[in-house]
Amino acid sequence: MFGEGPFGIARKGKASAMNGEPIDTSQPTTEIPGKSNKACTMGTPSLKDPCYVNAMIHFYRGEMGRTMIWRQRLDVTTTWAITSSTTIITVAFSFRDIPHIIFFFNLALVGIMLWIEARRFRYYHAFRGRVRMLESHFLMPMIAQSSGLLEGEWRRLVCEDLVLPYFKMSRFEAICVRLKRNYIYIFGVILLAWILKIFMHAKHGIYSLRDFSAAMRVAGLPPWMTELVFAGTVLSLLGMTCYAIRYVADEVSEFGTRNPLWKL
C-alpha cells in the first residue's frame, strides 16, 4: 500500500499510519508532475541524470555569486588607494612648506591597502578555484556532450574543499599578483611625485647628485635614510612584480590557440 506525504513524496509502506502500523520508508522517491517518476540515485554521475545536473548547476551559480562578491570587494580597496594617493599628492604640491616625507606615509598607506586587498584576493582565488573546476570538468563535458570527460579526481578535490576550505595561493603570491595588476602603477605615481616634489620645492637649486642627496634631508634625518627607503621601495616593488610575472599564472591567457576564430 502506498501513502503520499507532504511535498509530493510517495512512500512505500505496509500500511498507512492511520492503522497504527509501521511504514517502510527505506526507498524514497520523488514524483515530479509531468515527468517520469525516476528516483534520484547516488550512483555514477551522468549528464543524463537530471538530479545530478540540477544540483551541479545550482552549486555553480552559488559559487559564481560568492566569487563576484569577493571580486567587488577588491575594487573597493583599490579605489581607496587611488583616492588617498590623489589627495596626498594634491596637498603636497599645493603647499611648498610641506616636507616631501609625506610621500613616505603615502607609500605606507597604500602598502596597508595592498595587504588588505591581498587577503581579500586569497578568498576570491579560493572560491574562483571551485568555479574553474566546475567549468573545466562539468560544463565543458556538457558542451562537448561527453560523459567520459566527467571522470577524474576533480570531484574528490571539490568535496575535500567543501568539507575543509583552504587557500590555493600564499599571501606573498597574492601580494605579488595585486601589485602586478594594479598597485605597481599607484606606487610608481607616488615615487615619481616624490622626486618631482624634491626638485620643485627644494630650498636650493639641484644641479648634481650631491645636491639631490642634500635635498632629501628631512627634519634632521640623514639623507642616506631617505635614500635607503626610496631605493628599498623601488627594488622591492620591481622584485615582487618580476616574481608575479615569472611564477604566477594569470586568470586569462594573453594568447589563445585559436584567437582568430573568436573575431566576430
Q: Are 3 and 76 in a shared domain?
A: no
Q: Are 28 and 111 in a shared domain?
A: no
Q: CA torsion 244→249→255→261, rounded to 10°?
A: -150
pLDDT digits (tens, 9 = 90+) for 208-263: 778 787 777 777 777 888 888 889 999 999 999 999 988 887 777 666 666 666 66
100 compared with 220, residue with greater pLDDT:
100
Q: Are 26 and 130 in a shared domain?
A: no
CB neighbour class for 75 (10 Å; exposed up to 12, middle 13-18, buried from 19): exposed
In a domain, 115, yes or no: yes
Structure pTM?
A: 0.73
C-alpha cell at 247: 611564477
pLDDT at 57 over 80: yes
Q: Are 29 and 63 in a shared domain?
A: no
* Residue 212: per-residue pLDDT: 80
Handedness of CA 72, 73, 75, 76 (dihedral sign): positive
Q: Are 4 and 66 in a shared domain?
A: no
261 compared with 112, residue with greater pLDDT:
112
Across residues 21-41, what is the average pLDDT? Answer: 47
In a domain, 88, yes or no: yes
Lowest mean pLDDT among 16-30, 77-91, 121-135: 16-30
Residues in the chain, how many? 264
Q: Are 11 and 56 in a shared domain?
A: no
130 compared with 28, residue with greater pLDDT:
130
Domains identified in the chain, total number: 2
* Residue 3: per-residue pLDDT: 46
In a domain, 238, yes or no: no
Residue 145 sits at the vertex; the CA angle it makes with 43 and 152, to the nearest 5 degrees, is 50
pLDDT digits (tens, 9 = 90+) for 149-179: 666 788 888 889 999 998 999 999 999 999 9
What is the share, in percent, of the chain residues with pLDDT greater than 70?
A: 76
pLDDT at 201 over 80: no
**Domain extent at residue 34:** 1-39
Q: Are 56 and 182 in a shared domain?
A: yes
What is the share, in percent, of the chain residues with pLDDT greater than 90?
A: 39
In a domain, 259, yes or no: no
Across residues 127-142, what is the average pLDDT? Answer: 86
Q: Where is the domain boundary, 197, 217, 236?
A: 197
In a domain, 262, yes or no: no
Q: Are 64 and 173 in a shared domain?
A: yes
pLDDT at 37 over 80: no
